[in-house]
C-alpha cells in the first residue's frame, strides 16, 4: 500500500503573489484511486522542495481522510460471513 504524489501545479497564487499554489495529485497504488488537492503556501525564501513539503503537510489530514474512506474500495463483501474480504 503506497501513495504516490505527483506535483501537478506549481505557480504563484493569483490571489496572493507572496504565496505559491501547489496542486498534488495523489494516487493509491492499491486500488488506483486518485485525489487532487491544492494548497497555497508562503513562498518567502523557501526552496521548491520546502514549498512542496509545506503544501503536502497542509494537505495531509485531507489526504488521510480520503485514504481511509477508500480502504474498502475494491474489496469484496461476503454476506455469509458478514465480512469484508
Residue 50: inside a domain: yes
Task: Return d(Cα 33, Cα 27) in angstroms, integer.
Answer: 6
- Walk along the chain (85 residues) and give the pLDDT tens digit of each residue: 599 999 999 999 999 999 999 999 999 988 889 999 999 999 999 999 999 999 999 999 999 999 988 888 778 999 999 999 8
The whole domain housing 52 covers 3-71
Residue 51: inside a domain: yes
Q: HSE of 3 in the Cβ direction (CA atoms, 13 Å)?
A: 16
Query: How many structural domains comprise the chain?
Result: 1
Residue 14: inside a domain: yes
Residue 79: inside a domain: no
pTM of the model: 0.83
Amino acid at each position: 500500500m503506497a501513495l504516490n504524489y505527483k506535483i501537478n501545479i506549481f505557480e504563484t497564487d493569483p490571489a496572493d503573489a507572496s504565496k505559491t499554489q501547489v496542486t498534488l495529485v495523489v494516487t493509491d497504488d492499491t486500488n488506483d484511486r486518485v485525489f487532487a488537492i491544492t494548497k497555497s503556501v508562503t513562498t518567502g525564501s523557501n526552496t521548491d522542495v520546502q514549498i512542496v513539503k509545506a503544501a503536502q503537510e497542509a494537505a495531509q489530514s485531507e489526504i488521510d481522510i480520503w485514504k481511509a474512506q477508500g480502504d474498502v474500495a475494491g474489496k469484496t463483501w461476503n454476506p455469509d460471513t458478514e465480512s469484508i474480504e
